[in-house]
């Protein structure tokens, strides 16, 4: 069934088409709308290719001794590979879906460090192997804000942030799907990309690592076996760049998802509305830090790429991703942090998630995406989807929901849904 919407207000008389999917998941029906936004531009793509993260089944197996890492992550039928942070006596941190959680976010403090990402030698050897085996190359290599440590001091969370190249994050946090060793098929493929001498060097490294750790093991398995748990941030095994992600809730009470396609390295498929990572800006971080105001309190006079006292590291980066990917200005929405969590397929990489309360209707947002002039539009491919907020409880209690919406989108929706439930009582 095809519905035609005639749009007014800021988008004038433009006509949009929305297809009603009437999607069936596990015998449950959901009335998603799908908006065709056209083909994503291909020029200017700088992605080095898909980030290797491995199978969810392996993650569940490796973390079975720490069930709270996956299970009971706010009530949901879908198993999601994320957890809240554990610090000091295994205290949970990062649940911002309550008033207490919002206060915890506002009271966070910041320490900057000039120390570079310097993994122990045994871990560096694994990342060097992953770098050589996967052969990913970067046309540009942004300097990211990376979480070096998280401590609780006088009851207040204190983040230690340093700079690190995105490539280090790509190879350390994203290489757990890579296995030690080289089979004949992998050697044949590599011969088309590297010299015989380079391949010989890689083979020697593979033999040495297999002798040390055993044949066919993933990097994630080796690290978990060594520590017995997910390495904490202060253990410096991964270059933990801080991610940001947000789910839009429009004025007409619809959550909006986008299809993230071949132009992104990770978390492809139907997903949360905006997603990216925080870039390092020492001057701005030194001046503002992670301050006490929430997204809705950010001054519009401040550079929209950086944010203001609500946290130039996290909220400022999220505002930048929204502007670049969706083409909407920060005067058009309120931004509320709903969780600071760890993404298990990427070694427990930190991710701050937001509810984006958009002041326009769903069709207004779709039109902004279509007309967005920024190059980051290329990360959204083909389609934008919407679902009524009233259907989210049913969706999250339907086990197969993650077969349609990628895990990151499910987690973002869970946190937003829980925040709205707690604040609308």
DSSP state letters, 263-288: TSSSS-EEE-SEEEEPBP-HHHHHHH
Query: Residue 7's pLDDT is what?
Result: 37
Q: Indicate whether 247 belongs to any domain.
A: yes
Q: Measured between alpha carbons, how far is 366 from 36 in angstroms, rounded to an integer?
A: 9
Torsion angle, alpha carbons of 246, 260, 174, 356, to 10: 0
Q: Indicate whether 400 belongs to any domain.
A: yes
Q: Indicate whether 198 belongs to any domain.
A: no
Query: Residue 45's pLDDT is what?
Result: 57
Q: What distances in angstroms separate CA 19 from CA 251, 268, 381, 385, 419, one per listed residue?
A: 20, 22, 16, 9, 30
User: If pLDDT is split at 50, 70 and 90, which confidence band does 205 have?
Assistant: very high
Q: What is the mean pLDDT of residues 147-165?
A: 88
Which residue, 326, 312, 240, is CA-closest to 282? 312
Angle between helices 121-134 and 166-173 (to 10 degrees): 90
Torsion angle, alpha carbons of 380, 382, 388, 392, to 10: -60
Domain boundaries, position 256: 2-41+241-423
Global confidence as pTM: 0.87
Helix (H, G, I), strand (E, B) or coil at 316: helix
CATH number reported for the structural domain that contains residue 357 in this entry: 3.90.79.10
Q: Indicate whether 253 belongs to any domain.
A: yes
Q: Measured between alpha carbons, how far is 314 from 326 in angstroms, rounded to an integer?
A: 18
User: If pLDDT is split at 50, 70 and 90, which confidence band does 120 have?
Assistant: very high
Indicate the average pLDDT of the chain.
Answer: 81
Query: Residue 315's pLDDT is what?
Result: 62
The answer on pLDDT for 328 being more than 60 is: yes
Query: Residue 358's pLDDT is what?
Result: 84
Q: Indicate whether 224 belongs to any domain.
A: no
Q: Measured between alpha carbons, how far is 230 from 181 in angstroms, rounded to an integer?
A: 23
Tokens coding 312: 């130039």
Q: What is the domain count for the chain? A: 1
pLDDT digits (tens, 9 = 90+) for 47-89: 788 888 888 888 888 877 776 666 556 777 887 888 888 665 4
Query: Residue 4's pLDDT is what?
Result: 34
CA 171 to chain centre: 16
Q: Indicate whether 103 belongs to any domain.
A: no
The answer on pLDDT for 292 being more than 70 is: no
Which residue, 247, 414, 218, 399, is CA-closest to 318? 247
Q: Indicate whether 195 belongs to any domain.
A: no
Q: Indicate whether 24 belongs to any domain.
A: yes
Determine how many CB atoms are found less than 10 A away from the CB of residue 149: 18
């Amino acid at each position: 069934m095809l519905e035609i919407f005639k749009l007014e207000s800021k988008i004038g008389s433009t006509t949009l088409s929305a297809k009603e999917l009437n999607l069936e998941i596990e015998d449950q029906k959901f009335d998603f709308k799908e908006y065709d936004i056209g083909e994503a531009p291909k020029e200017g793509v700088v992605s080095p290719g898909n980030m290797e993260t491995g199978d969810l089944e392996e993650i569940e197996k490796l973390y079975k001794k720490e069930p709270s890492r996956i299970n009971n992550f706010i009530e949901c039928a879908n198993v999601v590979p994320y957890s809240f942070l554990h610090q000091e006596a295994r205290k949970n941190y990062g649940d911002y879906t309550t008033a207490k959680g919002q206060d915890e976010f506002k009271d966070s403090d910041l320490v900057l460090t000039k120390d570079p990402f310097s993994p122990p030698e045994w871990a560096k050897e694994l990342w060097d192997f992953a770098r050589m085996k996967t052969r990913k190359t970067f046309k540009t290599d942004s300097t990211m804000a990376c979480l070096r440590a998280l401590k609780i001091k006088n009851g207040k969370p204190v983040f230690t942030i340093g700079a690190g190249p995105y490539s280090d994050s790509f190879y350390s946090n994203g290489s757990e799907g890579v296995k030690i060793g080289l089979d004949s098929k992998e050697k044949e493929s590599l011969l088309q990309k590297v010299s015989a001498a380079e391949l010989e060097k890689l083979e020697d490294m593979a033999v040495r690592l297999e002798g040390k750790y055993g044949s066919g093991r993933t990097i994630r398995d080796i690290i978990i076996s060594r520590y017995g748990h997910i390495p904490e941030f202060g253990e410096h095994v991964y270059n933990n760049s801080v991610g940001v992600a947000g789910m839009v809730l429009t004025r007409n009470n619809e959550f909006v998802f986008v299809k993230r396609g071949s132009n992104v390295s990770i978390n492809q498929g139907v997903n949360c509305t905006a997603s990216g990572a925080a870039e390092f800006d020492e001057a701005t971080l030194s001046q503002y830090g992670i301050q006490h105001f929430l997204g809705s309190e950010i001054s519009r006079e401040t550079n929209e790429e950086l944010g203001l006292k609500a946290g130039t590291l996290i909220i400022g980066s999220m505002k930048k991703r929204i502007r670049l990917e969706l083409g909407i200005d920060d005067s058009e929405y309120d931004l509320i942090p709903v969780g600071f969590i760890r993404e298990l397929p990427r070694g427990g990489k930190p991710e701050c998630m937001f509810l984006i309360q958009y002041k326009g209707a769903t069709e207004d947002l779709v039109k902004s995406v279509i007309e967005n002039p920024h190059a980051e539009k290329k990360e959204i491919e083909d389609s934008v989807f919407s679902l009524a907020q009233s259907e989210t409880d049913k969706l999250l209690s339907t086990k197969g929901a993650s077969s349609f919406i990628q895990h990151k989108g499910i987690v973002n929706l869970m946190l937003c849904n829980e925040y709205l439930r707690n604040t609308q009582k």
